[in-house]
Structure 1
Amino acid sequence: MTAIKHALQRDIFTPNDERLLSIVNVCKAGKKKKNCFLCATVTTERPVQVRVVKVKKSDKGDFYKRQLAWELRDLTEVDAKDANKENPEFDLHFEKVYRWVASSTAEKNSFISCIWKLNQRYLRKKLEFVNVSPQLLEESVPSGESQSVSGGDEDALDEYQELSAREEQDIEGMMEVCEYAISNAEAFAEKLSRELQVLDGANIQSIMASEKQVNTLMQLLDEALSEVDTIEGKLSSYEEMLQSVKEQMDHISQSNHLLQLSSTNNLRLLDDITFLVNYMDLSKGHIRALQEGDLSSPKGIEACINASEALLQCMNVALRPGHEKLQAVKQQQQLFCDLRDSFSRRLTNHLNNVFVHQGHDQSSTLTQHSELTLPKHSALHRDLLRYAKLMEWLKNTQREKYEGLTGTYVDYMTRLYEREIKDFFEVAKMKMAATLPRKESALKQDTESLHGSSGKLTGSTSSLNKLAVSGSSSRRSQSSSLLDMGNMSASDLDVADRTKFDKIFEQVLSELEPLCLAEQDFISKFFKLQQNPNLSGSQGNGSDADGTTRPPHHGEHRHSMSEKDTVRLMMNSIFHCIEVELNTLIALGDKMDSFHSLYMLVKMSHHVWTAENVDPASFLSTTLGNVLVTVKRNFDKCISSQIRQMEEVKISKKSKVGILPFVTGFEEFAELAETIFRNAERRGDLDKAYVKLIRAVYMNVEKVGSESLKTPRDVVLMENFHHIFSTLSRLKISCLETERREAKHKYTDHLQAYVITSLGQPLEKLNHFFEGVEARVAQGVREEEVSYQLAFNKQELRKVIKEYPGKEVKKGLDNLYKKVDKHLCEEENLLQVVWHSMQDEFIRQYKHFVGLIGRCYPGSGITMDFTIQDILEYFSSIAQSH
Structure 2
Amino acid sequence: MAALKHRLQNEVFTPGEEVLRAFVRVNKRGGKRKKTDFLCIAATKMEPIQVSLYQVRKSEKGTFKKKTSWTIKQLKAVDGKDSGEESKDFDLILEKTFKWVANNVYEKTAFIGQLWKICNKFVPAQNVDFRNLNNSLKKLLLNANANEADQQQDAILQVEGVETAEDYQELTTAEEADLQAMMSKFDYSITNAELFTEKLSEELIALDGANIQTIMNAEQGVIDLVEYINDSVKELDGVEDKLSYYSELLKTVEKHMHQMSSINDHMIVEMKNYNKLIAEVEAIVERFDLPEEYLTTLAEASVDDEYALPKCTEAALAAQIALKSDSKPELIRLNAVSEQFQNISMHCTKFKKRLKERLISMFEKQGSTFEFISVGSSGEIVLPKHAIRHSKLLPYAQLVLWLKEMDSVMFEDLCNAYTRCISKRYEKELHDYFEKIKKVFQKSNSDSKVFGKQFINDTLAFVVSVIPLITLILFLPLMIDVFNTATKSLKNVDIRSGIHNSETSGFDKEVIAKFGKVFGILLEGLGSYVGHEQDFITEFFHLPVAIILLHDLSHDYVLTAFSLQQQINEDTIDSSGSVAESRRRLKEIFPSLDSDMANLIKAGDKVDPSISLHMFVRVSAQIKSHYGYAQGVASFYSKLIANWLVTVKRLFDGCVTSLTRSFDDYKISKKSKCGILPFVIKFEEFAEEAETIFKGSDRRGDLDKAYSRLFIAICAGISRVALEHPKTPKDVINFENFHRLFSSIARLKITSLENERKEAKENYQFYLNAYITSMLGRPMENLNTFIDGLENLLASGVKAEEVGFQLAYNKQELRKIIKEYPAKEVRKGLDSLYKKVEKHLCEEENLLQVVWHSMQEHFLRQYNNIQDLVKRCYPGSNITLEFSIDDVLIYFSNIAQSH
**TM-score, normalized by length of structure 1?**
0.64
Once residues 35 and 788 of structure 2 are traced to their aligned partners in structure 1, the CA distance between those partners, rounded to angstroms, is 127
Equivalent residue for 2:679, pick from 657, 662, 667: 662
* Matching residue within 817, 820, 826 for 2:837: 820
Give 2:563's aligned residue: none
1:360 is the counterpart of 2:368: yes
Q: Bigger shift: 497-506 or 432-441?
A: 432-441
For the residues of structure 1 that align with 2:398 and 2:892, how far apart are their CA atoms?
A: 94
2:582 to 556, 567, 584: 567
Q: Any residues of structure 2 matched to 1:423-502 within 5 Å, and which?
A: 440-441=449-450, 483=494, 489=500, 491=502, 492=505, 493-502=507-516
1:83-127 deviation digits (Å, cap 9, x = unpaired): xxxxxx99999999x999x99xxxxxxxxxxxxxx989x99xxxx
Contact 1:488-1:593 at 8 Å conserved across structures: no
Matched, 1:589 2:604: yes
**What are the Cα deviations for residues 798-822 of structure 1, in whole angstroms up to 9, with x where unaligned?**
4443443333332322222111111
Alpha-carbon shift at residue 689 of structure 1 (Å): 0.6
Aligned twin of 1:858: 875
Cα distance in 2, alignment partners of residues 486 and 769 from structure 1: 56
- Picking from 741, 747, 767, the partner of 1:750 is 767
AA aligned opposite 2:643:
N
Task: Give a deviation string over 1:593-638, Cα, whole Å, max 9, x none.
Answer: 1111111111111112322223286221122112211211111111
Say whether residues 1:714 and 2:731 are aligned partners.
Answer: yes
- Whether contact under 8 Å (2:546, 2:635) holds in the other structure is no
Residue 707 to residue 377, structure 1, CA distance change in 2 (3 Å):
same
1:144-163 pair list within 5 angstroms? none
- Counterparts of 1:496-645 in structure 2, within 5 Å, are 496-530=510-544, 561-615=576-630, 618-645=635-662
Q: Which residue of 2 aligns with 1:82?
A: none
Alignment check: 8 A CA contact 1:489 1:593 kept: no
- Distance in 2, matches of 1:853 and 1:438, equals 84
Partner in structure 1 of residue 119 of structure 2: none
The one-character-per-residue Cα deviations of 1:553-592 (angstroms, maximum 9, x if unpaired) are xxxxx9x954333223323443342221121111111111
Measure, in 2, the Cα distance between the counterparts of 1:381 and 1:650: 63
Task: State the distance in 1 between where 2:280 and 2:308 align.
Answer: 34
In structure 2, runs of 5+ residues without a counterpart are 5-25, 37-57, 63-76, 105-133, 140-157, 164-203, 460-475, 548-572
Shift of 1:438: 12
Q: Tell me the matched-pair count.
A: 712
Q: Which residue of 2 aligns with 1:135?
A: none
Partner Cα distance (2:693, 2:322) in 1? 64
Please give the per-residue CA displacement for 1:142-186, whole angstroms capped at 9, x wherever unaligned: xxxxxxxxxxxxxxx979999xxxxxxxx99996279999xxxxx
Secondary structure class of the residue paired with 1:299: coil
Structure number with higher relative contact order (C-alpha < 8 Å, ≥ 6 residues apart)? 1
- Residue 545 of structure 1 is matched in structure 2 by none
Could you tell me how far 1:504 is from its partner in structure 2? 2.8
Within a 5 Å distance, the mapping from 1:829-848 to structure 2 comes to: 829-848=846-865
- What SS class does the counterpart of residue 592 from structure 2 fall into? helix
Does the Cα contact within 8 Å between 2:370 and 2:428 map onto a contact in 1? no
For the Cα contact (< 8 Å) 1:486–1:592, is it kept in 2? no
1:801 to 818, 825, 828: 818
Residues of 1 paired with 2:33 and 2:835: CA distance? 132
SS in 1 for 2:671: coil
Q: What corresponds to 2:209 in structure 1? A: 176
Contact 1:418 1:577 in 2 (8 A): no
Q: Distance in 1 between matches of 2:28 and 2:750?
A: 99
Output the CA distance in 2 between the equivalents of 1:295 and 1:693. 69
Contact 1:487–1:591 (CA under 8 A) maintained in structure 2 = no
- Residue 484 of structure 1: CA displacement? 5.2
Correspondence list, 1:774-789, <5 A = 774-778=791-795, 781-789=798-806
Contact 1:728 1:740 in 2 (8 A): yes
CA distance in 1, matches of 2:577, 2:300: 36
CA contact (8 A) 1:705 1:716 kept: yes
Equivalent of 1:383, from 386, 392, 396?
Answer: 392
Please give the residue correspondences for 1:73-222 in structure 2 after superposition, counting only pairs within 5 Å.
Answer: 76-77=83-84, 176=209
Stretch deviating more after TM superposition (337-346 or 281-290): 281-290
Which amino acid in the other structure matches residue 527 of structure 1?
F
Distance 1:332 1:863, change over 3 A: same
Evaluate the alpha carbon distance shift between residue 302 and residue 72 of structure 1 in structure 2; reply closer, same or farther with a 3 A threshold.
closer
CA distance in structure 2 between the aligned counterparts of 1:436 and 1:776, rounded to whole angstroms: 87
**Cα shift at 1:881:** 1.8
Asked whether the 8 Å contact 1:433–1:443 carries over to 2, the reply is no
* Structure 1 pair 776–262 and aligned structure 2 pair: CA distance change class (3 A): closer
1:706-757: CA deviation from partner (whole Å, max 9, x where unpaired): 1122111110011000000110001111110000011111111111111121
Report the AA paired with residue 514 of structure 2: K
Q: Which of 336, 341, 350 does residue 333 from structure 1 map onto?
A: 341
- C-alpha deviation, 1:264, in angstroms: 9.4
Structure 2 Cα separation of the partners of residues 620 and 401 of structure 1: 28
Counterpart CA distance in 1 for 2:767 and 2:88 is 118
Mapped to 1, the partners of 2:162 and 2:769 lie a distance apart of 134
CA-to-aligned-CA distance 1:830-864 (integer Å, 9 cap, x gap):
01111111111222222223223333333333333
Which residue does 1:475 correspond to in 2? Answer: none
Q: Does the 8 Å contact 1:715/1:824 carry over to 2?
A: yes
Q: Which residue is equivalent to 2:416?
A: 407
Alignment of 1:243-258 (within 5 A): none
When residues 397 and 760 of structure 1 are mapped into structure 2, their CA distance, relative to the original with a 3 A threshold, is: same
Separation in structure 1 between the aligned mates of residue 443 and residue 687 of structure 2, nearest angstrom: 26
Q: After superposing the two structures, state which structure 1 stretch, 744-753 or 799-808, moved more.
A: 799-808
Percent of counterpart pairs with the same letter? Answer: 39
C-alpha distance in 2 between matches for 1:330 and 1:258: 34
Pair 420,724 (structure 1): closer, same or farther in 2 beyond 3 Å:
farther
Instruction: Give the unaligned 5+ runs of structure 1.
Output: 9-25, 37-57, 63-69, 80-88, 104-117, 124-156, 163-170, 182-191, 208-213, 219-223, 463-478, 534-557
**Residues 398 and 32 of structure 1: CA distance in aligned 2, closer, same or farther (over 3 Å):** closer
Q: Which of 286, 291, 308 matches 1:300?
A: 308
Q: CA deviation at 1:790?
A: 5.0
Which secondary structure state, in structure 2, belongs to the residue aligned with residue 710 of structure 1?
Answer: coil
One-letter amino acid of the structure 2 residue matched with residue 610 of structure 1: S
Q: Deviations over 1:265-311 (max 9, x none)?
A: 99888766654554433334433433344434442223322222232
Within the alignment, does 1:676 sit opposite 2:684 as a pair? no
Give the Å deviation of 1:386: 2.0
Query: 1: CA distance between counterparts of 2:91 and 2:837?
Result: 126
TM-score scaled to structure 2, two decimals?
Answer: 0.63
Q: CA 1:485–1:756 in structure 2 vs 1: closer, same or farther (change >3 Å)? A: closer
Instruction: Give the letter for the 2:404 counterpart.
Output: K
Judge conservation of contact 1:77–1:92 (CA < 8 Å) in 2.
no
Is the partner of 1:618 in helix, strand or coil?
helix
Query: Structure 1 pair 350/362, CA: closer, same or farther in 2 (3 Å)?
Result: same
Contact in 1 for aligned 2:497/2:659 (Cα 8 Å): no
What secondary structure sits across from 1:804 in the alignment?
coil
Asked if structure 2 preserves the Cα contact closer than 8 Å seen for 1:715 and 1:751, the reply is: yes
Question: Compared with structure 1, are the counterparts of its residues 431 and 648 closer, same or farther at alpha carbon in structure 2 (3 Å cutoff)?
Answer: farther
Report Cα offsets for 1:40-68 as digits up to 9, x if no partner: xxxxxxxxxxxxxxxxxx999x9xxxxxx
CA distance, structure 2, for counterparts of residue 793 and residue 99 of structure 1: 124
**Closer, same or farther in 2 for the Cα pair 1:258/1:740, shift >3 Å?**
closer
CA contact (8 A) 2:674 2:733 kept: yes
